[in-house]
Structure 1
Amino acid sequence: QRLFKTYIVRLFKQCKSLLSLFINLTHPYLRKCQERGDLVQPVVFSSVVLLSVLLYFTVSLMDPGFVLDAAATALNWYFINLNQPMRARHCKTCEHCVRRFDHHCPWIDNCVGERNHKWFLLYLCVQFVAVSWGLQASSGVVFAPTWQQWFSQNRFLLGAFAVTAVFSVVVLLLLCIHLFLASVNSTTWEFMSRQRIVYLKHCDSEENPFDRGVFCNLWHFCCVCGTVAWERIYVRRTNGAK
């Protein structure tokens, strides 16, 4: 219980810092909307930020697809290698074997796997909308007669704007990468470590035994819940290729 409370407090602090950045950055923009009598944009923006926070807690706290009968410890490592499902991998940070392992994300302090990968992608989409919307804070720049006064009055806003711009680029890159991986039914681990994975290192460099076409891959990624017996798909595709 103590570890769980510490984990929740840490998540809350991360969300609080992100919300503070958004509020300070977008306050001039939201204030102008209020002065114009436009309450729709502030309400929509606040809803997007709230949804982003809720999704953050969702992907952070939910089970990514732990293989409970192969819980990871240093003593049963050999047992894990013999019994872990295909496309699963042992995460040293979480100390569990994760189904369809993608990566361990330090930002959410959790693995991204078979059960929460779609929610992680949705979180990236909403997060990109939120941080991109925050870039409109440039409308809150205060003009001054000299550049020294201008910089002094706008330095915090410029700093927050630069941080938000960097966040936007990073989130956009991650979003594009994971959309591509979902469309070809691959994972970050498989894409980066192909030559070291037993079931992939014998395949051609462009061959993916789990790829069933973009439409089927995306439909399965977004709409199908539960675990998948990837061993059956792998055997069927590899035997069909022969």
Structure 2
Amino acid sequence: MKIVAVIPARLKSTRLPNKVLTNINGKPMIQHVYERVSKADLYDVVVACDDKKIYDIVKSFGGKVMMTRKDHINGSSRIAEVASAIDVDIIINVQGDEPLINSKVINQVIEAFSDEECVMATLKQKIENERDIMNPNCVKVITDKNSNAIYFSRYPLPYLRENKAQDYFKHIGIYGYKREFLLDYVKMEPTELEIAESLEQLRVIENGFKIKVLETDCKLVGVDTQDDLKRVSKLLKHNNV
């Protein structure tokens, strides 16, 4: 299979403006992401951007980049534009604000497609910090016995009626799609649960498709705040990832 990672990168960000171009220990964030993603078992890596500043930076460090429309409502729509223009079997969607991304994580997603029936895959991780269980920004996921997603929610899942010990899992936002499924998916209308939770992956479940969810123990640190940026910079500086 021809597997390509696409990194959607937009310039505007509410909490950290221009964050994908933020300098981290001498390199823009997008370069850290690109170089780490490139270590995975992939045919190619492409940045999908909406601004010439990002385009020029990626070109300057020798990366592959494609300019996409500015009117995309989410990353899935942006990578679908790339998928429609290239010869590929599987698309891996890696966020542009994950400078500590581990190639092992990407390879885990790729492994899901050894099952020919798999059309979409993602990851989960056991929640270790109890505060994250009630944190609506930490998306929880529950799966069936075949590791397919039952539901994603910002609310703690499952509800513990008898207060018994229970493992909770957070969703790790890295996705893999079969190309044709991705192109069909972005044409689907937003669904009620998707809108209620503001979680676009629920559209897949509501339309009757399965999402394979594999567990990973790799630690990821996305960058949304200045504190995140300082933490990532420190970890990279000391090669602690």
- What TM-score range do you get, normalising by the shorter chain? under 0.3
TM-score, normalising length: structure 2? 0.22
Bigger proportion of residues as helix: 1
The structure whose RCO (Cα within 8 Å, separation 6+) is larger is: 2
TM-score, normalising length: structure 1? 0.22
